[in-house]
Every structure is written in C-alpha cells, then in structure tokens.
C-alpha cells in the first residue's frame, strides 16, 4: 500500500507534465470555416457561436449521463424467468 501511493502521485505528475508540454495548436483542431468566420466577426457573432456550441453539446452530454444513471440503477437487477418456460436455461 505504501508503494502504490508514490506511484499514483508520480503518474499524476507525469500526466500533468505531458498536458503542460503539449502544444496548444495540437488541441485546437477545428473547422477552417468556423475559424475564418469567427476571426472576421464581431463580439456578438462570437458570443452567438459560443452559445451555439453549448446548445449542440448539451443533448449528447445529458443523454450519456442518463444512460450511465440508468445502468447504475439497474446494475444489480437480473432477468428471472419461470423454470417451467425454459428448463435448464438460466440467465
């Protein structure tokens, strides 16, 4: 147990170092049309673009969280059938 904690801290530090040393353009790959439109637009257009991005990412995020929640709630339920319906077959 005492060896695992320093390894855990070392792993976190290593991941943090990799994230800090990663070049910013590598993480900023985007659509060239969106980039050019945002570059020439005013502050209202930039705000609308940010709002649109949030609106488009909200439903998949909520759907994913819903699936995880249902799976968490149903994790211990087992399908049970009548023994007379399928003899010798267990789920």
Contact 58, 64 (CB under 8 A): no
Element (H or E) spanning 78, and its range? Answer: none
- From first to last of its 91 residues, the chain has per-residue pLDDT tens of 566 777 888 889 999 898 888 777 666 666 777 777 777 888 888 888 889 889 999 999 999 999 999 988 888 776 655 555 555 555 5
The owner of tokens 């439109």 is 37
Q: First CA to last CA across the chain, in angstroms?
A: 38
Instruction: Please state the length of the chain.
Output: 91
């Amino acid at each position: 147990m005492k060896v695992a904690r320093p390894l855990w801290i070392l792993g976190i530090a290593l991941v943090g170092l990799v994230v800090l040393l990663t070049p910013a353009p590598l993480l900023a790959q985007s659509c060239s049309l969106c980039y050019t439109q945002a570059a020439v637009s005013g502050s209202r257009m930039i705000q609308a673009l940010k709002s649109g991005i949030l609106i488009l990412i909200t439903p998949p995020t909520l759907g994913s969280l819903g699936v995880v929640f249902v799976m968490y709630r149903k994790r211990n339920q087992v399908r049970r059938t009548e023994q007379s319906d399928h003899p010798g077959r267990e789920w």
